[in-house]
Amino acid sequence: MIRLRGIERIFRVGEEEVHALRSVDLDITAGEYLSIMGPSGSGKSTLLNLIGLLDRPNAGRYELDERDVTGLTDDEQARVRREKIGFVFQFFHLVPRLTAAQNIELPMVLAGVDPAERRERLRKLLAEYALEARARHRPDQLSGGQCQRVAIARAMSMRPAVILADEPTGNLDRHTGQEVMAVLERVHHDGGTVLLVTHDPEIGGRAQRTLRMIDGAIVSDQKADAGGNGGT
């Protein structure tokens, strides 16, 4: 479903050029649960952003669902993000003035999903992520774990092809982090593709498949045999 070939990403920092990604080749099939690990500055977030079409490679080719998305215009990228990609961020990125329900709805609102259809999906999402009691609360009235659940529900609202989670537990305590991971893993169980960036080996180790990156290159690609849910 995702196919990266010879991806290069170079940042300019003043006079220096920093090679954030060096000839990265990667294939991800639908339904995979994959974690990308590595020290900070290893290029794991850059890789995630490229896959999420928030960034462009300097060289290489990126295919998403058999379609070359490397050279899309800004608007086309936005459309692909809207239809196929769900983001989960470390700092939740909820809109503070909107309620939990409105935050979850936001991608559907932007995509112009029909209100009746929208209400139905919202109802299901609230039930699925145990947020019904919190639907009318604003983010500042929610706990960190609830915020991240809202963020995951929002990411799922457009039924994306892939969920990209960048340190989703990085801003949560251990216990709440575990809960959030369980939610993400349920997405995977239900057939979703989940890409997880983390520097926490315990979290990363739960995935089916683990990439290790150092200095912009993938140095190892391991698949666990038993579905990777050993942690729970």
Partner 1 sequence: MSPADFAGFTFTSLTSHRLRTSLTALGIAVGIAAVILLTSIGEGLHRFVIAEFTQFGTNLVTVTPGRITTHGASLGAVNTVRPLSIDDALALTRVRYVQVTDPMVQGNAEVVYAGKSRRVTLYGTGADFSRALSMRVASGEFLPHDDPRAARALAVLGSKVAKELFGGENPLGARLRIGGERYRIVGVMESKGQILGFDLDDTVFIPVGRALDMFNRESLMEIHVLYEPTAPLAEVEAGIKRVMVARHGAEDFTVTPQQKMLEVFGTVLNALTFAVAAIGAISLVVGGVGILTILTIAVAERTSEIGLLRAIGATQRAILLLFLGEAALLAAVGGAAGLAMGWGIAGALKLVLPALPVHTPWHYAVLAEVVAVGVGLAAGVLPARRAARLDPLEALRSE
Binding residues vs partner 1 (CB under 8 A): 49, 52, 54-55, 74-75, 78-79, 81-83, 87, 89, 91, 93, 95-98, 102, 106-107, 109-112, 115, 154, 158
Query: Closest distance between partner 1 and the C-beta of residue 200, in Å?
Result: 20
The answer to whether residues 147 and 134 touch, using CB atoms and an 8 Å cutoff, is: no
18: left (phi over 0), alpha (psi -120 to 50) or beta: beta
3-state secondary structure of 67: strand
Q: Please, which residue, 38 or 52, has the CB nearer to partner 1?
A: 52
Angle between the 174-189 and 144-156 helix axes, to the nearest 10 degrees? 20
The answer to whether residues 190 and 160 touch, using CB atoms and an 8 Å cutoff, is: no
Q: Please, which residue, 112 or 191, has the CB nearer to partner 1?
A: 112
Q: Please, which residue, 50 or 131, has the CB nearer to partner 1?
A: 50
Query: Closest distance between partner 1 and the C-beta of residue 55, in Å?
Result: 6
Name the DSSP class of 58: S
Query: Closest distance between partner 1 and the C-beta of residue 112, in Å?
Result: 6
The answer to whether residues 48 and 166 touch, using CB atoms and an 8 Å cutoff, is: yes
Q: Please, which residue, 134 or 154, has the CB nearer to partner 1?
A: 154
Query: Closest distance between partner 1 and the C-beta of residue 58, in Å?
Result: 15
Query: Closest distance between partner 1 and the C-beta of residue 52, in Å?
Result: 7
Structure tokens at 222: 């391991």
Structure tokens at 140: 């500042």
Nearest CA to 217 among 2, 20, 3? 20
Nearest CA to 211 among 43, 18, 1? 43
Widest Cα–Cα separation across the chain: 54
Q: Please, which residue, 20 or 210, has the CB nearer to partner 1?
A: 20
Q: Please, which residue, 26 or 98, has the CB nearer to partner 1?
A: 98
Query: Closest distance between partner 1 and the C-beta of residue 148, in Å?
Result: 14
3-state secondary structure of 210: strand
